[in-house]
Amino acid sequence: MSETSFRRTPIQHLLEPLKPVWLPDSQSPIVLRYRTREQEQAAMRKLGLCDLSGLSRLGLKGAAAANWLRKQSLPVPEQVYASEHLSDGGIIVRLGMTEFLLESSLQDIVVPQLDILLTSQGNQLIRVERQDASFLLVGSQAREVLVQTCGVNFREVSNHTWVFTRLAGVSCGILSYLHQGAPAYPLWFDCSYAVYLWETLFEIVSELEGALIGVGILDEPE
């Protein structure tokens, strides 16, 4: 069974009482929405918190990793800690000269295809098991949440740049980019901290009059 199959979100028990709309016929628990499309669009523009943990994810490392990804016609970031968007809306991040993280979008096309094509080439191309939890902060007030929880000034961080830091005391990789013109910050961290970090972020988001959003609204056009 591939590493991208049957993903789980460690906060599913926190989401189920909210009675969200889940992605149907999915092997992974992914919330499409909590409220109406209009309400979630408004939250996304101002401040939204989203659980991305159920999305397909793939890690690669080794001297042949970059060339293998290029042969699959992917936009490989040239600089370490840089990122690019995949053709289906997913993300590829270069974590080192020979290490990459790829995360799918709701369309879930590129990462599963790569997973099928991937075969070990000894130490030259190695699959890295990614058991991260992944959340997203998005909206005009997303930086305010980071101001309260993180020592990095993200106003000084270039778009499509990965930063490894601590968020509310948890070691965390944070990517900075714009989603439909609004600041967006995907977070990756050890899944054992997921409940604590979700509850911490949700409390701050609520104080700032933000809201939870589902993955479905992220894939909709402006």
Q: Rounded to whole angstroms, how far apart are CA atoms 159 and 153? A: 13
Return the DSSP state at 130.
Answer: -
> What pLDDT, on the 0 to 100 scale, is given for residue 222?
58
> What pLDDT, on the 0 to 100 scale, is given for residue 27?
75
Per-residue pLDDT of the chain (222 residues; tens, 9 = 90+): 344 444 679 999 999 999 999 999 777 899 999 999 999 999 999 999 999 999 999 999 999 999 999 999 999 999 999 999 999 999 999 999 999 999 999 999 999 999 889 876 777 999 998 889 999 999 999 999 999 999 999 999 999 999 999 999 999 999 999 999 999 999 999 999 999 999 999 999 999 999 999 999 998 765
Distant-in-sequence, close-in-space partners of 49: CB < 8 Å, separation ≥ 6: 135, 136, 137, 198, 201, 202, 205, 210, 211, 212, 213
> What predicted TM-score, i.e. pTM, was given to this entire model?
0.93
Amino acid (one-letter) located at 167: L
**Which residue segments constitute the domains of the chain, with CATH numbers given?**
13-54+132-219 (3.30.1360.120), 57-128 (3.30.70)
**Nearest residue to 22 (alpha-carbon basis) of 12, 34, 31, 10:** 31
The residues facing 93 across adjacent strands are 83, 101
> What pLDDT, on the 0 to 100 scale, is given for residue 165?
98
> What pLDDT, on the 0 to 100 scale, is given for residue 220?
74
> What pLDDT, on the 0 to 100 scale, is given for residue 119?
79
Q: Rounded to whole angstroms, how far apart are CA atoms 168 and 126? A: 32
Distance from first CA to last CA of the chain, Å, rounded? 37
> What pLDDT, on the 0 to 100 scale, is given for residue 1?
35
